[in-house]
Amino acid sequence: MRTLVYSLQTAFKSLWHEKWINFLTILSIGTSLLILSAFVGVTLNADSVLKRWAKSFGLVVYLDNTLNRKAEDRLKDFFQQDPDVLEVKYISKDRAIRELHEILGTNASILEELEGNPLPSSFELRLRRELLKPEIVKRKAGEIKQINGVEDVQYGEKWLSSLNTLSKAMKIIAAFLGCAIFTAVIFISYNTIKIFFFARRHEIETLKLLGATRSFIRLPFLIEGLFIGIFGGIISCLALFGVQSLIVYKGADILPSIRAIIVSLPVQAYILVPLAGAFMSLIGSFIAVGKIKY
Amino acid sequence: MIQFSGVSKYYDKEIIFKNISFTIEKGDLVYVTGPSGVGKTTLLKLIYCAELPDEGHINVAGWDLKKLRQGTIPYLRRNIGVVFQDFRLLPNKTVFDNIALTLKIQDMHPKEIKENVDEVLKNIRLKHKSYLFPLQLSGGEQQRVVIARAIVSRPSVLLADEPTGNLDSDTSAAIMKLFKDINAKGATVLIATHNETLFQGSGRRTIHLRDSQIEKETIG
């Protein structure tokens, strides 16, 4: 306990004594963590947009024209009982032609050339979000197509595939950026602690000769590294909060609905970022201090 | 207390010691002398494990240094007070803090640290300068601080490397009196010096080193 108190005192003295180099290190770590947090924020917002898009995604099941109403109802019951389907919407032949009329607007006169209503009745099925993967949707569409009374199944195959690729790409970039920043923060704190260790080598040599254990020598450096990481994390959180507030309040002037659209980082992130900074910096410090030989 | 058995030490191809053996009993005050570069400092370093012998065995206060693990070395050193030739005082710490460091390393309670440091500062008559930094002291005063740091934890062995180098005769005499007092309290003291006036007429055992060997042992 007393060794811990001594180490804390020594670490804080060094933090203050070497304030400029420590300040620059904290700023570098803060900037790195800010880039990472900002990207996580962007990914969260992009994911939220993708989720909103996914809500409107559905399979359109075109029914056989020969089916009577009773058979259509049986199919509706069948789809409603399917655990993969969240919502079933029935579109009758009449409604389909009406909607087509509305879409065509002034050009709707071309429909008058047709004999009767050529459009089939259909169901719009909304699948559970976790199933919205190209391969799963393709298989599901294939299964539905096999059902008696189903003429065809259509869905935005290319759109779904692009959406999925975008989501995957963002996750890969986030992972890559995370690794790069993890390495950068470790390297930054490694360099700083290595400089301090070198600057205090005579003191360390004396401590060793006076009977100091490895932990007694190492602990102040590790605590210093830990606090550098925590302070870096706090700086990045403050900057992130500032940038986010600026976007929300200033952006509201241009796009009033931005407050409803934008997804803020969860409160836990403001605890997690300094902790992550501390963890990364601690690893760097640990490597910098290295193995002490007697 | 200190036993060298067939100890040899080499630096690259240079032979420092070749097969030297001697024993220093508990409570002895012994001088080691010889010309500059003969290996007096190396001999002390071998005792506090800053160097390892290439051949032979060294036993200090019951510790076989050849079998000592790296992690155990600090605990050996806590039993040995060392007065370094180059002082090794930390310039950014006060006299009090320099002396207290030895006890902090040993995880002593702050209240006990204060009592012990105050007592030792009184013994070396530097209590009034406890708040000063080493560079604000004279050479003799710095030497006394180094001695205080070495004895504050009451080690069983005290090693002194040229403790009176560059000091005037009055200060040297005062410092030698300190060593005799420490020895009188039961500590084994080994003083490495090339200053003949220190051991001549002292009535103490003196080990003379020359040409990598113990040339002779005399009673000063």
pLDDT tens digits for range B136-184: 998 889 989 999 999 999 999 999 999 887 677 887 888 888 889 889 9
Query: In CATH, what number does A58-155 get?
Result: 3.30.70.3040
**A–B CB contacts, 8 A cutoff, strictly below:** 47
Name the band, by pLDDT with cuts 50, 70 and 90, for residue A252: confident
Sign of the C-alpha dihedral, residues B31, B32, B35, B41? negative
d(Cα B11, Cα A57) in Å, to the nearest integer?
80
Interface check B109 vs A, CB under 8 A: yes
Select the residue of A203, A205, A209 nearest B77 (Cβ to Cβ).
Answer: A209
Residue B14: strand pairing partners: B11
pLDDT of residue A170: 83
Distance of alpha carbon A54 from alpha carbon A48, whole angstroms: 10
The ipTM estimated for the assembled molecules is 0.91
**Nearest CB partner across the interface for A294, out of B73, B88, B109:** B73
Q: In the prediction, which pLDDT does B173 show?
A: 84
Domain ranges of chain A: 2-52+163-289, 58-155
* Cβ within 8 Å, pair A206-B149: no
Report the first-to-last Cα separation within chain B, whole angstroms. 21
The two structure tokens encoding residue B95: 């006299």
Residue B46, classified by CB atoms within 10 Å of its CB into exposed (0-12), middle (13-18) or buried (19+), is buried
Q: Quick one: CA torsion of B113, B109, B61, B183, rounded to 10 degrees?
A: 20
A3: chain B residues, CB-CB within 8 Å: 107
Signed CA dihedral, A144, A146, A151, A156: sign only:
positive
Q: How far apart are CA B94 and CA A258, in angstroms?
A: 60
pLDDT value at position A95? 87
Task: Show the beta-strand stretches assigned E in chain A.
Answer: 59-63, 85-91, 122-127, 150-154
Return the SS3 of A238.
helix
Q: What gap in Å lies between CA A289 and CA B79, rounded to an integer?
A: 27
- Residue B13: band (very low, low, confident or very high) from pLDDT cuts 50, 70, 90: confident
**Mean pLDDT throughout B193-206?**
84
Q: Is A246 helix (H, G, I), strand (E, B) or coil?
A: helix
Residue of B168, B126, B82, B192 whose CA lies nearest to A207: B82
In 3-state terms, what secondary structure has residue B87?
coil
- Residues A216, B101: C-beta atoms closer than 8 Å: no
- Quick: pLDDT tens for B41-56: 999 999 999 999 999 9
* A contact test, residue of B104, B113, B147 with most A CBs within 10 A: B104
pLDDT (tens digit per residue) in B63-102: 899 888 988 999 999 999 999 999 999 999 999 999 999 9
Length, in residues, of chain A: 294
Average pLDDT over residues A113-131: 84
Distance from CA of B200 to the nearest CA of A (A): 31
B165 φ, ψ to 5°?
-55, 135
**Residue B28 or A254, more confident:** B28
CA dihedral A172, A174, A176, A179 (to 10 degrees): -140
Of residues A3, A2, A22, A1, the one with CA closest to residue A12? A22
Cα(A289)–Cα(B109) distance, integer angstroms? 27
Buried b (16+ CB within 10 A) or exposed e, B54-79: eebebbbeebebeebeeeebbebbbb
Range among A50-54, A86-90, A100-104 rated most confident: A86-90
| From B49, B71, B107, residue closest to A3, measured CB to CB | B107
Contact A186, A276 (CB under 8 A): no
Contact A206 B90 (CB under 8 A): yes
Question: What amino acid occupies position A102?
Answer: E
Q: What is the pLDDT of residue B104?
A: 94
Return the HEC string of A109-133: HHHHHCCCCCCCCEEEEEECHHHCC
Residue A18: CA count within 13 A, CB half-sphere: 21
Closest chain A residue to B79, measured at CA: A211
> Do A211 and B78 count as a contact with CB atoms less than 8 A apart?
yes
**Alpha carbon distance B119, B104 (integer Å):** 16
Cα A11 to Cα A196: distance, rounded to the nearest angstrom:
11
- What is the Cα–Cα distance from B190 to B30, expressed in whole angstroms? 5
Query: What pLDDT does residue B139 have?
Result: 87
Contact A211 B74 (CB under 8 A): yes
Q: Are the CB atoms for A73 and A123 separated by under 8 Å?
A: no
- Structure tokens belonging to residue A225: 């590294």
The CB-side HSE value for A23 (13 A sphere, CA atoms) comes to 5
What pLDDT was estimated at residue B9?
92
pLDDT above 80 for B193: yes
Q: Quick check: A2 and B104 CB within 8 A?
A: yes
* Contact between chains at B90 and A216 (C-beta distance less than 8 A): no
Percent of chain B at pLDDT exceeding 90: 60
| pTM of the entire predicted model | 0.77
For residue B84, the chain A residues in CB contact (below 8 A) are 209
Which of A2, A205, A209 would you mutate first to test chain B, the one with the most B CBs within 10 A?
A209
Write the residue in A205, A210, A293 that is nearest to B105 by C-beta: A210
CA–CA distance from A181 to each of A35, A285, B118 (Å)? 8, 16, 51
Question: Least CB-CB distance to B74: which of A202, A205, A212?
Answer: A212
Average pLDDT of chain B is 90
The pairing of strands B188-192 and B29-33 is parallel
pLDDT for A250: 81
Residues of A with CB under 8 A from a CB of B: 2-3, 6, 202-203, 205-214, 216, 293-294
Q: What is the average per-residue pLDDT within A58-68? A: 87
pLDDT digits (tens, 9 = 90+) for A153-196: 988 777 777 877 887 888 888 889 889 999 999 999 999 999 99
Cβ proximity of A224 and A194 under 8 Å: no
Token pair of B36 as six digits: 């500059």
Contacting residues of A for B49, CB less than 8 Å apart: 294
Q: What is the pLDDT of residue A24?
A: 94
- Answer whether residue A40 shows pLDDT above 80: yes
Q: Residue B33, exposed/middle/buried by CB under 10 A (0-12, 13-18, 19+)?
A: buried
The mean pLDDT of A217-236, rounded to a whole number, is 95
Rounded to whole angstroms, the Cα distance separating B93 from A206 reads: 13
Lowest mean pLDDT among A85-94, A207-216, A249-258: A249-258
CB contact under 8 A, A2 and B109: yes
Amino acid B67: pLDDT: 86
Q: Which residue of B has its CA nearest to A200?
A: B90
Chain B closest-CA separation from residue A228 CA (Å): 23
Q: Using a CB-CB distance cutoff of 8 angstroms, which residues of chain A are in contact with residue B109?
A: 2
Identify the CA nearest to B189 among candidates B15, B6, B28.
B28
From B50, B71, B107, residue closest to A209, measured CB to CB: B50
